[in-house]
Every structure is written in structure tokens, then in C-alpha cells.
Amino acid sequence: MDRALLISSLQAAEEQIATGERQIARHSDLISTLQRAGHDTTSAIALLRELKETQIQHVAERDRLRDELAVLGAAQLGNRRRTRRTPYGRR
């Protein structure tokens, strides 16, 4: 994957994580409200569990993209170091 696509994918992953955090917080609040009102929260808790599992996957994908970007950056840096200027041109 090229650098621009990696950066774009990383930004999308960060946005997904932020959205997921808001959804999890909102759903947790909803569960609390339902519990206080004496409602059954079994299905709401199951959905919250799924939201959290999905969030874990989004975080793992973000971390993978960060690692891939770091490796790509290190490889590009290594390529630059191999090319040296000499009085007679590049070597």
C-alpha cells in the first residue's frame, strides 16, 4: 500500500474509533436509564458487547496501519541513507 493510501486509511480508522467511542458511551448511558426505569436490558447489553468487540477490531486495524506506515517510513529513510553524495556525484 502506498503512503497516501495508508494515511487516508489511518484517518478513516481514527474517525471510526472516535465514532465508536461516542456510540459506546451513548449506549451505556441508555442502558443505565433503562435499568433505573426497571426495563429489561438483556438485548441492550448484548448490543453494547458487540459495539465493544467491533471497537476492538477498529483499534487493531488502526494499530496495524500505524505499524505499516512506520515500516514504510523506515524503509524510505533507509533508502535515502544508502544514497550518498560524493564530490563526484551520488553513490
Give the Cα separation of 17 and 23 in Å (integer): 10
Note whether 67 and 19 are within 8 A (CB): no
Number of separate domains in the chain? 1
69 within domain boundaries: yes
pTM assigned to the model? 0.77
Of 20, 18, 21, 2, give the one whose Cα is nearest residue 65.
2
Kindly state whether residue 24 falls inside one of the protein's structural domains.
Answer: yes
Give which of 26, 12, 13, 27 is closest to 55, Cα–Cα. 13
Please check whether residue 91 lies inside any domain of the structure: no
Q: Would 90 be classed as within a structural domain?
A: no
In a domain, 89, yes or no: no
Specify if 75 maps to a domain. Answer: yes
pLDDT tens digits, 7-17: 999 999 999 99
- What domain range is 28 assigned to? 3-83
Alpha helices in the chain (DSSP H): 3-36, 42-82
In a domain, 60, yes or no: yes
Give residue-wise pLDDT tens across range 31-79: 999 999 999 999 999 999 999 999 999 999 999 999 999 998 877 766 6
Contact between 16 and 63 under an 8 Å Cβ cutoff? The reply is: no
